[in-house]
Structure 1
Amino acid sequence: MAEDRVAFIVAGVQKGGTTALFDYLGEAPDLSLSRVKEVHFFDDESQDWARPDYAAYHANFEPFDGRPRGEATPIYLYWPGSLERIAAYNPKVRLIVMLRDPVERAWSHWKMEYARGVETKPFAWCVREGRQRLFDVEPWGFSREISYVERGFYGEQMARLYGLFPREQVLVLRSDDLRGDPGRTLGQVRAFLGLRPGIASEARDVHVGREMDYGSDLTPADVDFLRGIYARDAARLADLTGVRFG
């Protein structure tokens, strides 16, 4: 039945504070969140999307008890086909997008992959020559690991999202706002989900980057280079959402 469909999804962005948001929302007794934060259903290319197994998706949640159910898989905003699959699943779903300065996001993403041992090249190379590696992956031009620059084209991604869902079903937040004033941001989320105000939450850090020698720094030259790459898309994002970075 449509009423037991997942009611809201935090659909982006990676390294943008989605883990902290999911952690905060997990304290709300009037919400039912997935057992794990990132369900990775709508980006699953092994799924038969002509006949998707929604029962397998719902198995990640407690049985429906009337509370809004939600999950947070931040790759959905970026991964091709994910938003379209979500729209087919529940055209009335509410989508939350957490945005972070794309330059800071790229740097944090690179540090995560470097710490995991997935990435071995320096950051400066990865965001310049290293982008050519995306022509050698499948699906072409998209990567779960090395998409440091590409995931930061928020204007393009939000335009695609707004082409699929009405704006009243989309809430755009900034990670800095959640970090600086979680009570206010969580109040926005609760209002967006049609819930009464909850108890204010204390600010805390979640998923802080690992302390280690990364062999690279985020240099002013890197920042200027990335600002140039993002300039046109940043203007598009500002026109669409009013959100600006840098």
Structure 2
Amino acid sequence: MDEGVLVNFIIAGVQKGGTTALFDYLADEPGVALSQVKEVHFFDDENQDWSRPDYAAYHAHFSAADGRPCGEATPIYIYWPNSLERIRDYSRAMKLIVLLRDPVHRAWSHWRMEFARGAETEPFAWCIREGRRRLFDAAPWGHHREFSYVERGFYGEQMERLFGLFPREQVLVLKAEDLRADPAATLAQVRAFVGAPEGPPPRPRDVHVGRQMDYPSTLTAEDIGFLRRLYARDMARLRELTGVNYA
């Protein structure tokens, strides 16, 4: 491990992809140490002086790991510019876990979350079409924490960048659908990957279930078809890189 490094694994993505469920499952694992809050948001912090990052402030989010694998889960890291590069600078030995979800349903879930929070006021159909122009006025250019419904679903592009920074053996790619269907099998993969001992059988759970309210949109066949066509080339790249298929 690099000198001064406490954290040795990060659940780096994707938003609305089951990262909260995985973090909660790992919180029940006695052989794993986690951050005191799920999303630390250190490596996407644009107020940090990245020429001299304050890793002590990062480590303050963690209790003593006592030799156990120590990690956090901030799903914006795989999407936000320079976050992965900053993680590499912190530790080239970092292990990265990426939970993927069908990008169409991820986008829909993301929009529902932002609308329920009041951050979004426009209908889904507009947001995934004309609304993407809002990212041209954002900083950093082309990225937005709330309105990136479509952009966060370009997994092939994001995984290509990740594999350009870290060896593939340091990256575990999982599917949110598999975590939901068989959490025990997914957790066994995670334990083996981070070097944790066998833990207790997981209790199935639903976390961050979408708020029940009147939304001004439904996920239409037209919207699904539009997004499938938009993602087609990137999904082919994802299959080539990872074997994951959401076409």
Asked if TM exceeds 0.5, the reply is: yes
2:237 alignment partner in structure 1: 236
Superposed displacement of residue 95, structure 1: 0.3
Hey, what's the Cα distance between the residues in 1 that align with 2:138 and 2:118?
18
> Distance between the aligned counterparts of 2:5 and 2:78, measured in 1?
23
Moved over 6 A (4+): none
Within the alignment, does 1:106 sit opposite 2:107 as a pair? yes
Name 1:210's counterpart in structure 2.
211
In the alignment, does 2:58 pair up with 1:57? Answer: yes
| Distance in 2 between residues matched to 1:75 and 1:33, nearest whole Å | 18
In 1, the alpha carbon distance for the partners of 2:199 and 2:37 equals 23
Contact 1:83-1:161 within 8 A present in 2 as well: yes
Residues 1:177 and 2:178 are matched in the alignment: yes
Provide the C-alpha distance between the structure 2 equivalents of 1:195 and 1:64, rounded to a whole number of angstroms.
12
CA contact (8 A) 2:31 2:199 kept: no
What residue is the counterpart of 2:12 in the other structure? Answer: 11
2:76 counterpart SS class: helix
When the two chains are superposed, the root-mean-square deviation of aligned CA atoms in Å is 1.0
Once the two structures are TM-superposed, the CA of residue 65 in structure 1 deviates from its matched residue by 1.7
Deviations 1:200-221 (A, max 9, x none): 2122111101000111000000
The 8 Å contact of residues 30 and 199 in structure 2, kept in 1 or not, is answered as no
| Structure 1 residue ranges without an equivalent (≥5) | none
- CA deviation profile, 1:90-124 (whole Å, cap 9, x unmatched): 10010000000000000000000000111000000
How far off its partner does 1:79 sit?
A: 0.1
Task: Give the drift of 1:9.
Answer: 0.1
Mapping 1:94-173, distance limit 5 Å: 94-173=95-174
Distance of 2:240 and 2:33 partners within structure 1: 34
- The sequence identity of aligned pairs, in percent, is 69
TM-score normalised over the length of structure 1: 0.98
Q: Which runs of 5+ in 2 are unaligned?
A: none
Alignment size in residue pairs: 246
SS of 2:244's equivalent? coil
Compare 170-179 and 198-207 and name the one that shifted more: 198-207
Letter in 2 for 1:154: Y
After superposition, residues 18-33 of structure 1 pair within 5 angstroms as 18-33=19-34
Q: CA deviation at 1:64?
A: 3.8
Question: For 1:242 and 1:64, how far apart are their aligned partners in 2?
Answer: 34
Letter matched to residue 57 of structure 1: Y
> Normalization by structure 2: what TM-score?
0.98
